Structure 1
Amino acid sequence: MNTVTRPRILVVGAGFAGVGCVRRLERRLSPNEADVTLVTPSAYQLYLPLLPQVASGVLTPQSIAVSLRRSRRYRTRIIPGGAIGVDLKAKVCVVRTVTDRIVEESYDYIVMAPGSVTRTFDIPGLTDHAFGMKTLAEAAYIRDHVITQLDLADASEDPAERAARLQFVVVGGGYAGTETAACLQRLTHAAVKRYPRLDPSLIKWHLIDIAPKLMPELGDKLGRAAQEVLTRRGIEISLGVSIAKAGPEEVTFTDGRVVPTHTLIWTAGVVASPLMATLGAETVKGRLAVTPEMCLPGYDGVFALGDSAAVPDLAKDDGAVCPPTAQHAMRQGRRVAENVIATLRGEPMRPYEHRDLGLVVDLGGTDAVSKPLGVELHGLPAQVVARGYHLGALRTNVAKTRVATNWLLNAIAGDDFVRTGFQARKPAKLKDFEYTDAYMTPEQVREHVERGAGAGTGQP
């Protein structure tokens, strides 16, 4: 079959949803049945749930960055860049490559799984002074930054500066914020033993959230158990509180408190990728409204899933949509691939249905809370379940081995608390890692496609 006439399947995003879809397509499609192209800035799948352990040094960055090129069935063409606009009528995706070239990629079928970005609010100084925890680079940078604060505090002769550098603020009482605060507090607690000039009592961690409960999805019992673990470690938890403004050396809480600090980590939720706004289609709180088969109504060959799609949750009767979790994204990726193949072959599509496997929260060491299949656990049994789940969810045996080995080495040998100098002396806040201003408006997409800029190249 001539390659020019093969159906072109374009997958946007290499998160759990996008990679799950690509891998199923590679397994189920014959080599001459269709051409598969993936748009992603990096040729790896990031295992997001373990980012806090990279930030704390328990895991190396490479261990949770799973290469997309290791599969024996690998034949997908990868465009290194990000989709910044889609013209659904012309069936063209506009891509900004990692070299800042703007190219167009035509498709017959498109699977949109661009994931999410950090949710921010119009808080003075937030994007200029806060760190995020959404990318591998951010996690690696935060580790360097936290160790740098210990180094600078140890060298300082100014008591006020020393105290400010040893205070850390994490905003967000969900899974990401709770695990980040827990893991980084363990990092500073262990590291301060190498700094005899520092008083350990000066190190203070604050975890704040506007919600009245910590991780409400876990239920009252496990939420309280997690809160007790963090409080026992000395983490100050403030609920019903957020940030009023952020500066380079202090943060003001909405309850009026001013905390001198050089470290503000923002993990207060996520929102759908701005790519969804370029489509001119119906959205639900920013997520693209799709059918249970994850199709976009009114457009043939358009599928959306994961954090950026409002996929109906058929397990509930109240019109709910699936939450933006890795568990749903992985399953949706496989189902979308099956539906794309069914469409190619003229077969009926199937809706996405699921059975909830539960939740796990790793608080470091032997501390964890988990709820597998509705069974509430905490302490060591919960930690065994949490780490077992993560190992099972990692896509390759190489990744599983690396993560397990890192856990074992860290438990036996600890950490050397070495700074790598990653992006030293360069800005590395929220606005520097998430390029949310790079997307086109629907009008700009149409104008660009009509001009035919880069048409027919599809090359980075």
Structure 2
Amino acid sequence: MARTVEDAAGAPHILIVGGGYVGMYTALRLQKKLKRELRRGEVKVTVVDPNSYMTYQPFLPEAAAGNISPRHVVVPLRRVLPKCTVRKARVTELNHDEGWAIVQPLAGPPERIHYDYLVMAAGAVPRLLPIPGLAENGISLKTVGEAIHLRNHVLEQLEIAESTDDAELRRKALTFVFVGGGFAGVEAIAELEDMTRDATKYMRKVTPQDLRFMLVEATDRILPEVGPEMGRWTAEQFRGRGIDVKMKTLLVSAVDGRIELSDGSSFQAGTLVWNAGVKPSPVVRRGDLPVDGKGRVKGTEYLTIEGLVRAFTAGDNAAIPDLTQDGEFCPPNAQHAVRQAKLLGDNIVRSLRGKALKPYVHGNLGTVAGLGLHKGVANPLGIKLKGWPAWFFHRSYHGAMVPTLNRKIRVVADWTLALFLKRETVSLATVEQPRADFELAALDGAGHRNAERPVSENAA
């Protein structure tokens, strides 16, 4: 039975489901526009998310490669939203017709929260296909936890290769397969190939020539966001670096680490990274919101939810019409999410004050992609940039866009130190099993748990 949380009588309650780009920027906008109302308790804003931080996802490849500290790519929600209530919980059910949501906190029974205004900003999750072995052996790069794990895993594969003379085991450990040729897949393989190349400088048995990186893409081009010409240039650059780029190719199976591709290739790989698209968070289906055939919430140009009152949506989980292109919808990227969130916050304020809502119209500023240290591709405002200039523009743009002055300073400090200090390429894989040594110390020589002697004696 869900416990009901009562709100102050007469104070409109705005519930924001999701603390990512749209959720956080909408809440920031409401804090700014409703400063006095929030201080007086005349309006209440609650943000519900499984994490108590927002992740700046464009920096995840650099965090995985060690160019930026993982702590610096996340923004603590409670710190930047002091006038809002932040709940680290999951929404398990939602009834907009009656104005309530069931949330499951970290501990304790579920709670029923009543609200007056809804913002569905749950974002997206990886789009997995029913490929044998994918769920068991693949990893995505959508969260900071995955970035940390991927970094440690890749470096651990190098350690395996360095410490064995088994040719087959070495070949498997040094084979890295990335599926998906969009921004996420291209930046991930570029940054991690750069990192592993640096790591081999300190190894005796593993050389850069031993590494096998492969990018698998189902369509006939990579990086479609930057245009055909720039995509072809990126593929040529990758091949020049020894990265095998396979287009019009599908992953067929990954059972027990054996990669089978639609072109007939079959080989063992120690690493499989899946970045082949996203789909709306399943949260959007846990209620009575209208969704389209792709599982996206049906939105309008005013960022409202189609057919509902006092309900708004934006970002990756929403189908928002692109008014600059007839019949098209806004693509699921950070540029749209941030701009939509600001207008969404403004439209909520207009709704509270009985004013007309404004439509979302966006002019594309272009795209940027990092391809490793000092390498990149970009087309800001139609200007085509390659190599070092594109990399510099990439860092300048994202350095300016990362939320809060605190994070901007920390990220720039990481980049500045990297100019003078060598990259750290140490695997900390043991952090994923922090109790392993403790449990080992509690066992006697026969492998049985020793409950009589102190752990410190067993360790000795």
Return the TM-score normalized by structure 1.
0.89
Q: What's the CA shift for 1:295?
A: 1.1
Give the secondary-structure state (helix, strand or coil) at the position aligned to 1:198: coil
Maintained 8 Å contact 1:140/1:422: no
Q: Give the counterpart of 1:257 among 265, 278, 282.
A: 265
Equivalent-residue separation in structure 2 for 1:381 and 1:227 (angstroms): 18
- Other-structure match for 1:320: 328
1:83-98 equivalence runs, <5 A: 83-98=91-106
- Other-structure match for 1:114: 122
Q: What's the CA shift for 1:78?
A: 0.7
Runs of 4+ in 1 over 3 A off after TM superposition: none
Moved more, 94-103 or 237-246: 94-103
Equivalent-residue separation in structure 2 for 1:102 and 1:70 (angstroms): 25
Equivalent-residue separation in structure 2 for 1:159 and 1:205 (angstroms): 17
1:426-445 equivalence runs, <5 A: none
Q: Give the counterpart of 2:299 among 271, 290, 297.
A: 290
Cα deviation digits, residues 418-445 of structure 1 (max 9, x gap): 222232499xxxxxxxxxxxxxxxxxxx
Maintained 8 Å contact 1:173/1:268: yes
Give yes or no for the alignment of 1:23 onto 2:16: no
Q: Give the counterpart of 1:48 among 54, 57, 61.
A: 57
Q: Give the counterpart of 2:179 among 148, 171, 177.
A: 171
1:79-158 equivalence runs, <5 A: 79-99=87-107, 101-158=109-166
Equivalent-residue separation in structure 1 for 2:270 and 2:286 (angstroms): 36
Q: What's the CA shift for 1:392?
A: 1.1
Maintained 8 Å contact 2:54/2:77: yes
Cα deviation digits, residues 290-345 of structure 1 (max 9, x gap): 111111232211111100000111111x2111000001000111111111111111
Instruction: Report the structure number with the largest CA radius of gyration.
Output: 2
Given residue 126 of structure 2, which amino acid in structure 1 is its aligned partner?
A: T
Gap regions ≥5 residues in structure 1: 427-460
1:369-408 equivalence runs, <5 A: 369-408=377-416
- Other-structure match for 2:432: 423
Given residue 14 of structure 2, which amino acid in structure 1 is its aligned partner?
A: I
Equivalent-residue separation in structure 2 for 1:179 and 1:161 (angstroms): 27
- Other-structure match for 1:447: none
- Other-structure match for 1:411: 419
Q: Give the counterpart of 1:61 among 70, 86, 96.
A: 70
Equivalent-residue separation in structure 1 for 2:178 and 2:240 (angstroms): 17
Give the secondary-structure state (helix, strand or coil) at the position aligned to 2:90: strand
Give yes or no for the alignment of 1:77 onto 2:82: no
Moved more, 339-348 or 90-99: 90-99
Given residue 51 of structure 1, which amino acid in structure 2 is its aligned partner?
A: L
Maintained 8 Å contact 2:201/2:207: no
Q: Give the counterpart of 1:4 among 9, 16, 39.
A: 9
Q: What's the CA shift for 1:220?
A: 1.8
Give the secondary-structure state (helix, strand or coil) at the position aligned to 2:389: helix
Equivalent-residue separation in structure 1 for 2:176 and 2:260 (angstroms): 13
Given residue 13 of structure 1, which amino acid in structure 2 is its aligned partner?
A: G
Given residue 304 of structure 1, which amino acid in structure 2 is its aligned partner?
A: T
Residue identity over aligned pairs, in percent, reads 34
- Other-structure match for 1:445: none
Q: What's the CA shift for 1:217?
A: 2.1
Equivalent-residue separation in structure 2 for 1:343 and 1:77 (angstroms): 21
- Other-structure match for 1:214: 222
Q: Give the counterpart of 1:304 among 305, 313, 320.
A: 313
Aligned residue pairs: how many?
A: 423
Q: What's the CA shift for 1:411?
A: 2.9
Equivalent-residue separation in structure 2 for 1:50 and 1:417 (angstroms): 18
Cα deviation digits, residues 93-132 of structure 1 (max 9, x gap): 1222233742221100010100000011111111111011
Quickly say closer, same or farther: Cα 1:286–1:332, change in 2 above 3 A.
same
Equivalent-residue separation in structure 1 for 2:108 and 2:241 (angstroms): 45
Equivalent-residue separation in structure 2 for 1:289 and 1:40 (angstroms): 21
Equivalent-residue separation in structure 1 for 2:409 and 2:422 (angstroms): 18
Equivalent-residue separation in structure 2 for 1:425 and 1:406 (angstroms): 27
Equivalent-residue separation in structure 1 for 2:192 and 2:92 (angstroms): 34
Q: What's the CA shift for 1:248?
A: 2.9
Given residue 324 of structure 2, which amino acid in structure 1 is its aligned partner?
A: A
